[in-house]
Amino acid sequence: MKVAVIQFPGSNCDQDALYSLREDIGVAAEYVWHDSTSLVGFNAVFVPGGFTYGDYLRCGAMAATAPVMDEVRRFAREGRPVVGVCNGFQILCESHILPGALMQNVNQKFLGQDCYLKAINRTSPWTERVEGVVRIPIAHMEGRYVADAETLARLEGDGLVAFRYVSPTGELSEEWNPNGATNAIAGIVNDKGNVLGMMPHPERATRKLLGCDDGLAIMSAFRLLPVN
């Protein structure tokens, strides 16, 4: 397994993702620069968080037009594994690899804190090992997931909601939905289940020293996926 960590100007969780994948998950990982036009030799893609191109336009809108994203689109279409976290999720939405959009948090402030997640979909490689409630940090200003009614109905009806924000004991409540996301959606998968986008940072929670390793349940999929 060799993971491509896509690096845009302004990515700032690229090193964290690389380090988590290599050191904590135990797979090979390399940076792929934004102007690259090939993903040959890679088995999976990780689009990390950050402020790509400064995010002075809509978050992820510029990155969605980078040359490498054509390859990521093709990669996803072919059913191969792609994960986007935080700004990476925003980029996947802006690239139309995943539906919906991420709007400003309901309190209009950046939120850097822990949150609690429950896996709703249990069949994708990213969610099948997530038991009960996991604690994963968030760090974003635009993380409120929104989509049109039809898309939401499809996400809910087809079991494509990957994670919901919940209380530490697993209940749904607005109090524990930090950014006001529609249906408390923290992450979604595509209909084939090979693409995951999520606002919380599982790569920040893969070692006990960092206070929490609940992210292993999500990130370990990179080690367990069949090499395609």
Residue ranges binding another protein (CB under 8 A): 9-10, 12-13, 15-16, 19-20, 49-51, 53-56, 109-113, 137, 139, 141, 201, 203-204, 209-211
Task: Tell me whether residue 203 is one of the annotated catalytic residues.
Answer: yes
Q: How far apart are CA 163 and CA 116, in angstroms?
A: 10
Can you name the residues that pair with 4 across neighbouring β-strands? 30, 45
Of 94, 115, 142, 201, which residue is the catalytic one? 201
Q: Which is nearer to another protein, 40 or 209 (CB)?
A: 209
Beta strands in 8-132, from DSSP E residues, in sequence order: 28-33, 44-47, 82-85, 101-103, 111-119
Of 71, 94, 142, 203, which residue is the catalytic one? 203
Angle 195-175-105 from CA coordinates, rounded to 5°: 55
Judged by phi (left if over 0) then psi (alpha if -120 to 50, else beta), residue 76 lies in alpha
- Smallest distance, Å, CB 9 to another protein? 6
Cα–Cα nearest to 178, from 163, 161, 166? 166
Task: Tell me whether residue 93 is one of the annotated catalytic residues.
Answer: no
Q: Which is nearer to another protein, 55 or 75 (CB)?
A: 55
Q: CA 25 from chain center: how many Å?
A: 16
Of 86, 115, 140, 142, which residue is the catalytic one? 86
- Smallest distance, Å, CB 133 to another protein? 16
- Smallest distance, Å, CB 174 to another protein? 17
Q: Which is nearer to another protein, 19 or 176 (CB)?
A: 19
Q: Which is nearer to another protein, 94 or 97 (CB)?
A: 94
Task: Tell me whether residue 59 is one of the annotated catalytic residues.
Answer: no
- Smallest distance, Å, CB 168 to another protein? 10
Q: Which is nearer to another protein, 10 or 159 (CB)?
A: 10
Residue 154 · residue 98 · CB < 8 Å? no
Helix (H) or strand (E) holding 91: helix 87-94
Token pair 């309190």: residue: 107
Residue 32 has a CB neighbour count (10 Å cut-off) of: 20
Q: State how far the alpha carbon of 38 is from the alpha carbons of 18, 23, 34, 72, 204, in Å.
A: 19, 25, 10, 9, 28
- Smallest distance, Å, CB 177 to another protein? 15
Catalytic residue annotation: 86, 201, 203
